[in-house]
Amino acid sequence: MKNDDSTVSRGYQSDRVYIFDTTLRDGEQSPGATMTLQEKVRLARQLELLGVDIIEAGFPAASPGDFEAVRAVSKTVTNCQVAGLCRAVAADIDRAWEALKHAANPRIHVFLATSPIHMEHKLRKTPEQVLEMAKTAILHAASLTKNVEFSAEDASRSELPFLAKVVETVIDAGATTVNIPDTVGYIQPEEYGNIIRYLTENVKNINKAVISVHCHDDLGLAVANSLAAVKAGARQIECTINGIGERAGNTAMDEVVMNLNVRHDYYQCSCGIITEQIYPTARTLSHIIGMPIPANKAIVGANAFAHESGIHQDGVLKCRETYEIMDAAAIGKTGNDMVLGKHSGRHAIKAKVEELGYTLNDDQITIVSDAVKKLADIKKEIFSEDVEAIVLEEIFRMPD
Ligand code: KIV
Ligand code: ZN
């Protein structure tokens, strides 16, 4: 199929991955992550600074509060598209549009389930009825704006020929983004990649839309699945800050973005995220919802750039890249962290002592080092104050 410029930049041949942030919608569905309207606007401003392409601000038909929040975010944000979620029914679509129409770049996001289990037990509709509903809903949304996304809910458990038919139908009806969610966090990376590849090969108008992925982390694979989908041709990733979201959460934005950056050689795709805003954004969300970031979380966890083992500390002090694949500064952190403990070596202890302003000879470093290790056996964490106290006590002890 021949591609003109506009379809290439939207389709799966492009090297640009769009980042669709759903912290304010799917993320807020995380237990304990409810935000007030003011907090949502504050986070939306931070997401704009971060450089996300699309902010999903809420589900306007779900509640008056959600409607007001989508409206307020639409009026505030100017540099990103603002999306509102709706079911595939005219009343929901109209309500979403009412909230979104003030946005500089509004997007209507319609979802409808396509898996046998959802169609039979939740929707109680036949596949033919679902196909018709999807087409009618997208035609209606496309009469309001040119920027329309369709999500085939539970796509990963749908029958592929039917999923392809739905995707083709909604693109013909005006959808410019087609989302293939792994709603229940069930799929494996290779299988997910195969679904995306199947759609690129079997949907004849696929180049007229961006293929999007939306993963949940029930089996801990949301990030791996999203990246496998990009490798297979998806060009929009739906994700949340710190990976918050329904049940075990959604794809963590910081993790997919840093994979695309650090392994650009592998993915050959870029996104528009200002990576130096990743850490400040993670902290802003954590403060707003009162949910700490786990210390061992990749990228933004407190330990992600911390080194405790003596061999690692020595290596990093000689050459950062020996044990670090990215620079803490790239995500907006001030630097890596040498955590002193019983595994720390002389090199790290000497560096800490010098950072505190003391110059000691080799014998004195050995004395301090032994004392730090002894203390680390009885105390979980060694702080700068502990090291200073040891230096003062063991080296500069005032005679009795
Ligand atoms: O998980 C899901 O399928 C969703 C859709 C509404 C996009 O959140
Ligand atoms: Zn979801």
ipTM of the complex: 0.99
* Nearest listed ligand to the Cα of residue 183: 1
Q: Is 18 in the pocket of ligand 1 (CB under 6 A)?
A: no
Under DSSP, is residue 160 helix (H, G, I), strand (E, B) or coil?
helix
- Name the residue at shortest CA distance from atom 6 of ligand 1: 111
Question: Does any ligand 1 atom lie closer than 6 A to the CB of residue 111?
Answer: yes
pLDDT of residue 385: 84
Distance, CA of 197 to CA of 231 (rounded, Å): 9
pLDDT for res 106: 98
Q: How many other CB atoms sit within 10 Å of the CB of residue 400?
A: 3
CA distance 233 to 400: 74
Does residue 249 have its Cβ closer than 6 Å to ligand 1?
A: no
Query: Among candidates 202, 203, 126, 194, which has minimal Cα distance to 170?
Result: 203
Q: Which residues contact 100 (CB under 8 A, 6 or more apart)?
A: 60, 70, 71, 74, 82, 83, 84, 106, 107, 108, 145
> If you take atom 1 of ligand 1, which residue's CA is the nearest one?
183
Spatial distance between the Cα atoms of 87 and 10, rounded to a whole number of angstroms: 25
Longest dimension (CA), the chain: 92
Identity at 198, one-letter amino acid code = Y
Per-run averaged pLDDT (10 residues), the chain, 400 residues: 40 86 96 95 97 98 97 97 98 98 97 98 98 98 98 98 98 98 98 98 97 98 98 97 97 98 97 96 95 96 90 90 93 84 88 87 93 89 86 77
pLDDT for 399? 55
Distance, CA of 104 to CA of 387 (rounded, Å):
55
- Encoded tokens for 143: 């009469």
Which pTM value belongs to this model?
Answer: 0.89
Amino acid at 193: G
